[in-house]
Amino acid sequence: MKIQLPKDVDYIIKELQKNGYEAYAVGGCVRDVILAREPEDWDITTSASPIQVKGIFKRTIDTGIIHGTVTVMLDKNGYEVTTYRIDGEYEDNRHPREVTYTPYLSEDLMRRDFTINAMAYNENSGLVDIFDGLKDLEEKRIRCVGSAEMRFDEDALRILRAVRFSAQLGFEIERGTLNAAKIKAENLKNISAERIRTELNKLLASPNPDRLLIAWELGITAIILPEFNTLMTKPHKKQKESYGVFSLQSIRYLREQVLPFVKGKEKEASILSWALLLQGLKPEEGREVLRRLKFDNETIDYVYRLLTWCDYEFLLTPWEMRKAVNAIGKDLMDMLFSVKEACILTEKGSISGGKGEDLEKARELYHEILRKKECVELKELMINGKDLIELGFKPGKAMGQVLGELLVSVLKEPELNTKEKLSLMAQEIHLREA
Ligand code: ATP
Ligand code: MG
């Protein structure tokens, strides 16, 4: 087998070899090029120690030096170069207590999670595939390297990774690995929220988000996302299936028809996916889930607001739309439309007629507001606190109420949003209150 390595990777491997060491591209990148997928990053494994690696390349960063990893910088790109290692005994199904370097590539491959992730490649040796990873790739199978139960005892995250790869690649999990996952699912309680969040996000962003159902069947979600188990028993208010099943279908529609998950849109895709996944929960409950998984505040806040508004039915007049946008917030509108569209597609299979048509009308009304630059938020009012003080108002809470009152008038009649008109109205209020 011949693999075309990127120029930089080829250079790093050859430099290491010139200095008398072994070096290979390894893991996910080898798997991905064989599958003709774009690798996320290129990892290199070598017999050289971190210090030796640092001696060979001009610019390096000690990314994970205790685990044997040095990042070699070429131009603006970084490549992780890791010394052949054996992971020592594991603590709490979590971290290896210690890592030991080894002179043997085979031992480094043996510590890896799945056969498809345990292949190495360089030009001289070709593909090094001691666990039949290539065959598993061809037969679309996720299989642990060695005894699955032991591997899941060492690091329980691998249980979730198996499901995640199965969703990303559309592969089946081999029977022995599947059984072991079921037996060991409970070990996931020892895994940090951050690591779980990363895997769940990758799963939801994959072409097969509905494979979360495998995690449910295996007893994985009961440990890491018990709310999903609740949603699997909660009947959807309009459909015959449960919220859990409905939500996963809606995430697939989101990806396939509403918002193609493109590079640079990962965060928005993640926010929308979580809002869809948790739509059967109360907003507060959804927020708790994301807090527990240690999501960033922006994501938590957007999802909370989407859960608050996802069932809202727009009234289709310009005035009602302005009031709605004011209450919902402009920053949420496009995401809210996307969530609603995914749900309608899941319910009806299409966006034409009925609810889909209403949604399109709401979208048009909203875009009309944007086109006409109509005021829907306080900060778009042509008068502000400073102006009111000049008109004789005292700073304080009452002033906020006056601005609020002016905004209500402007929502009703957008033409009122000029400085002169609002000043006059404010003066009237001032007189009335005096
Ligand atoms: P991705 O496309 O998500 O980057 P990947 O296979 O490259 O997939 P990484 O998490 O980047 O996954 O890890 C790189 C390699 O390190 C894997 O291919 C695998 O060989 C090994 N690896 C990663 N995590 C584990 C783990 N928990 N247990 C054993 N080996 C692992
Ligand atoms: Mg990777």
Averaged pLDDT for residues 30-35: 97
412 contacts 374 by C-beta, under 8 angstroms: no
How far apart (Å, rounded) are the C-alpha atoms in residues 255 and 86? 39
Averaged pLDDT for residues 325-351: 94
CA of 193 to the centre of ligand 2 (A): 19
Residue bearing the CA closest to ligand 1, atom 17: 27
Which residues, other chains included, contact 123 with Cβ-Cβ below 8 Å and sequence gap of 6+? 5, 10, 13
Residue bearing the CA closest to ligand 1, atom 1: 28
CA of 203 to the centre of ligand 1 (A): 14
CA of 117 to the centre of ligand 1 (A): 7
User: Which atom, in ligand 1's list, is nearest to the CA of 168?
Assistant: 2
Which residues, other chains included, contact 19 with Cβ-Cβ below 8 Å and sequence gap of 6+? 48, 52, 56
Nearest to 335 by CA among 249, 238, 254: 254
From 84, 112, 144, 191, the mutation candidate for ligand 1 (largest count of ligand atoms within 8 A of CB) is 112
How far apart (Å, rounded) are the C-alpha atoms in residues 23 and 81? 9
Statement: residue 10 has pLDDT above 90? yes
DSSP 144: B
Window from 154-163, 258-267, 315-324, 384-393 with minimum mean pLDDT:
258-267
pTM for the full predicted model? 0.93
How is 195-243 classified by DSSP, letter by letter?
A: HHHHHHHHHHTSS-GGGHHHHHHTTSHHHH-HHHHHHHHSBPSSSSSBH
Statement: residue 263 has pLDDT above 80? no
pLDDT in tens, 127-171: 999 999 999 999 999 999 999 999 999 999 999 999 999 999 999
CA of 28 to the centre of ligand 1 (A): 6
Closest ligand by atom to 87 CA: 1
Residue bearing the CA closest to ligand 1, atom 6: 28
Q: Is the CB of 164 under 6 A from ligand 1?
A: no
